[in-house]
Chains A and B, each alone.
Chain A
Amino acid sequence: MNVLIIISILGIVAMVSEIFGLRKSIWYIVVATLTGAFIINLNDWDTARRYYDDMVFIDNYAIAFMGLLLFLAFVWFFLSKDQYESDQFNTSDHYAQIIFSLTGALVLVSYANLSMLFLGVEIMSIPLYILAGSRKKDLASNEAALKYFMMGAFATGFLLFGITLIYGVVGSFNLSQIQHHVSEVGNLPLMFYAGVVMIMIGLGFKVSAFPFHFWAPDVYEGAPVMISAFMATIVKAAAFGGFYRLFSVCYTDISGHWAGTLSIVIGTTILIGNTLAVYQVNMKRMLAYSGIAQAGYLLLTLLVLTNASANALIFYIASYAIATLCTFGGLYWVIKFRGNDALDSFKGLGKSNPILALAMTISMLSLAGIPPAVGFFAKFYLFTVLLEKGFMPLVLLSVLGSLISVYYYFKIIIKMYGTASDDTSTLYISIFNKAVLIIILVAILAIGIMPNFFLGIITQ
């Protein structure tokens, strides 16, 4: 709870810092506060408490997710430092929006009441509509902002209609009362199932699952690159945290009614995401489709809903998010110096910028699920959890999807090391930024080599 309050205050401080002439030091304030919040968050471990008349419930699941989100935001601020130091941005305004969005993400993984779910989704999304359009003169950025806004508002409508229908049946927004109603009262009217499906549609938009994925590539392509990185990692992680919490608390007893629908959604998401990613010539669009495919793998955990699957979800999303952040961080430098985000602008990077190329390579290996990167163990653990409950066809489909994904991830690696380029200019990356990339790289490999150590921490 303290973490939520600290991060909200940090957002307000960031917003007014320009007035007090703190523009140069705001980055340091933000990073220091995030570190502090991370430690305070871990301090609450194993003390599950409910706050504000059962609006917020901070248990180990919420703490693990909040720690992950804070860590990802911490890494994000290091990667995006260069972008916001150039003069064309109002740094503190952007930082304030990002931190408000982070506040929403934290609410979204720790709610115990459907009204907090709604508020979390909205607090997380509204700043991002602004940030997606933060290049005011750039038509692509404008278009991305409008598309994101309309899809977001539309999805909110569905989410709210679902919440309303469930309220109509149960008479309360409280998760534990809904759970009680589902397991004790039974004999639920059709309206309740309609509500469950509506909420699935609303959250499916947020995590970009198959029938509702079409906005993601356009928005990622048009938005500024580090904002796309924020949307692809932190927003997705929070949306999954909220999605999983709702289903594991409330709908476990009626899983027979929605598991079939969800399986079809998962299967098509994995196939469509991986297949369309093969045809992309633009790096951001390729990452968007890869994100859609990874959302399919993450949705698999909703079919099991045990402690083991919650661990698998957190481990998988951490591995996906850290590798994707690293990729976007590398992409930022390529766009900055080569001027476009086509796959061809990665040509010859292995020779001119070995460190950047190495970081990108390891991230790609992790996303494709090749050992020793962490992505392999995340996939392995996820599939083990599923196979124990017997979801053979879906696991086979996921493995097939991973095989397809190897093609488009390796395409980047081959471009970086294999092909000569006309443009062999070196990208000038400062020592600071190189160090950040190397630390992420080491983290991906270290967790990949010793997964049991980190899995042990989460399982406790």
Chain B
Amino acid sequence: MNQLTELFAPNLNNYIILCSILFTIGVVGVLIRKNIIIIFMSVELMLNAINLLLTAFSVHHGDSSGQVFVFFIMAVAAAEITVGLAILVMIYRNTGSVSIDSLRNLKW
């Protein structure tokens, strides 16, 4: 039992690896998905990976400013996604679709 706890004990490197993987999943999601809502979710995943990592670092350094930063990120992300969803609603009204493929007017 003791060995198990030691194996799964949260040390900093595990957090860094986990958050990097989550962040990469988010980046790949933004790059390959066609549905705009899924893309927004991927962006949120990127930001939440950052939040987790910030909290881990904050505990590691014993410094609370990292956790305060997390609140900044949450507030700004909420404001940002509000604007994003408003833009999405506007596009849905004009094109009747939430796919990236409906937007191909601007190119050279």
Min distance, Cβ A164 to any Cβ of chain B, angstroms = 5
Q: What 0/1 pattern do residues 81 to 93 of B give for CB contact below 8 A with A?
A: 0011011101100
Known: A157-B26, A168-B16. A142 touches B94 (CB 8 A): yes
Please report which residues of chain A, range 120-149, place their CB below 8 angstroms from some CB of chain B when the two chains form the complex: 122, 126, 129-130, 133, 136-137, 139-140, 142-147, 149
Verify B88–A140 contact, CB threshold 8 A.
no
Verify B80–A140 contact, CB threshold 8 A.
no
Verify A161–B103 contact, CB threshold 8 A.
no
Partner of A146, one of B49, B69, B103: B103
Q: Counting CB contacts under 8 A, is B37 at the interface? A: no
Smallest CB-CB separation from A221: which chain B residue? B106
Known: A142-B90, A144-B106, A157-B26. A171 touches B61 (CB 8 A): yes
- Interface class of chain B by DSSP: helix
Min distance, Cβ A13 to any Cβ of chain B, angstroms = 21
Q: What 0/1 pattern do residues 93 to 132 of A give for CB contact below 8 A with B?
A: 0000000000000000000000100110010001001100
Q: Counting CB contacts under 8 A, is B108 at the interface? A: yes
Verify B72–A119 contact, CB threshold 8 A.
yes
Verify B88–A146 contact, CB threshold 8 A.
yes
Verify A161–B76 contact, CB threshold 8 A.
no
Of the listed residues B69, B84, B106, the one surrounded by the most CB atoms of chain A closer than 10 A to its CB is: B106
Min distance, Cβ A123 to any Cβ of chain B, angstroms = 9
Verify A222–B84 contact, CB threshold 8 A.
no
Q: Report the count of interface residues on B (CB-CB < 8 A).
A: 41
CA of A126 to CA of B60, assembled, Å: 33
Verify B69–A115 contact, CB threshold 8 A.
yes
Q: Report the count of interface residues on A (CB-CB < 8 A).
A: 40
Known: A115-B72, A157-B46, A160-B73. A143 touches B80 (CB 8 A): no
Partner of B63, one of A136, A154, A172: A172
CA of A133 to CA of B26, assembled, Å: 25
Please report which residues of chain A, range 354-377, place their CB below 8 angstroms from some CB of chain B when the two chains form the complex: none
Verify B84–A142 contact, CB threshold 8 A.
no
Verify B87–A133 contact, CB threshold 8 A.
yes
Verify A129–B46 contact, CB threshold 8 A.
no
Verify B43–A142 contact, CB threshold 8 A.
no
Min distance, Cβ A287 to any Cβ of chain B, angstroms = 14
Which B residues fall within an 8 A CB radius of A? 16, 23, 26-27, 30, 36, 39, 43, 46-47, 49-50, 53-54, 57, 60-61, 63, 65-66, 68-69, 72-73, 76, 79-80, 83-84, 86-88, 90-91, 94-95, 103, 105-108
Which A residues fall within an 8 A CB radius of B? 115, 118-119, 122, 126, 129-130, 133, 136-137, 139-140, 142-147, 149-150, 153-154, 156-157, 160-161, 164, 167-168, 171-173, 191, 217-218, 221-222, 279-280, 285
16 new A-B contacts, CB < 8 A, other than A115-B65, A154-B46, are A115-B68, A115-B72, A126-B80, A129-B84, A130-B83, A136-B90, A139-B94, A140-B106, A142-B90, A142-B94, A143-B91, A143-B106, A145-B90, A146-B87, A157-B23, A171-B57
